[in-house]
A = this chain, B = another copy of it.
Amino acid sequence: MIIINTGDGKGKTTAAIGQIIRSLGQGFKVCLIQLFKGEAFYGEQNMLVKLEGLDFFSFSKEHPFCIKDVTITEAAERCKPAIVKIKEIANNGKIYDLIVLEEFNIALRDNLIDKTEFIELVKLLSEKSDVVITGRGAPRELIDLADLVTEMREIKHPYNKGIKSRKGIEF
């Protein structure tokens, strides 16, 4: 099954994290491949590294949108090992029950990874594992391919009132 969490609202990443916890709780083996998440910033990372049954990989930790001295070219270069890792998993036997590809929709949106290649890899992965892909702006081709798509839609957000992101809530 291919699952997509997209939309402009809060909850795409946290729902994926919750999905990981649920799956681990059923005794399943899980892999999380994360893009654009600086280490020791997001609270969940401190927890995830400690969980048995979860393999956790983090690549291209800085996104050019947030860190101005990282160029698009550099970011694309740093996404390559993530694709190598996905290929490695896809070309192996069944290793994981659940594979979470965090913020890959953003990498697709910004052309940091190749869409055609990525979609082929997701198809391969989904033959053996459930695959969750997160990030706003999921491309149409991925939505068409997916079995379950949720749009996290912002009804109300304190950012709009000028309130800044807060520890334990947004990171």
Interface residues of A in 1-35 (CB under 8 A from B): 1, 3-7, 9-19, 21-26, 28
Which A residues lie at the B interface, using CB under 8 A? 1, 3-7, 9-19, 21-26, 28, 42-48, 51, 97-98, 130, 143, 146-158, 161, 163, 166-169, 171
Cα distance, A154 to B156, chains bound together (Å)? 18
Contact: B43 with A24, CB < 8 Å? Answer: yes
So how many copies of this chain end up in the complex?
Answer: 2
Contact: A43 with B26, CB < 8 Å? Answer: yes
Provide the residues of chain B in CB contact with A19, threshold 8 Å. 14, 18, 169
Which one of B152, B157, B171 lies within 8 Å of A22 (CB-CB)?
Answer: B171
Contact: B28 with A168, CB < 8 Å? Answer: yes
Find the B residue at minimum CB distance from A23: B168
Cα distance, A17 to B161, chains bound together (Å)? 26
Contact: A25 with B10, CB < 8 Å? Answer: no
Contact: B156 with A153, CB < 8 Å? Answer: no
Cα distance, A161 to B158, chains bound together (Å)? 37
Provide the residues of chain B in CB contact with A130, threshold 8 Å. 168-169
Which one of B23, B44, B151, B163 lies within 8 Å of A18 (CB-CB)?
Answer: B44
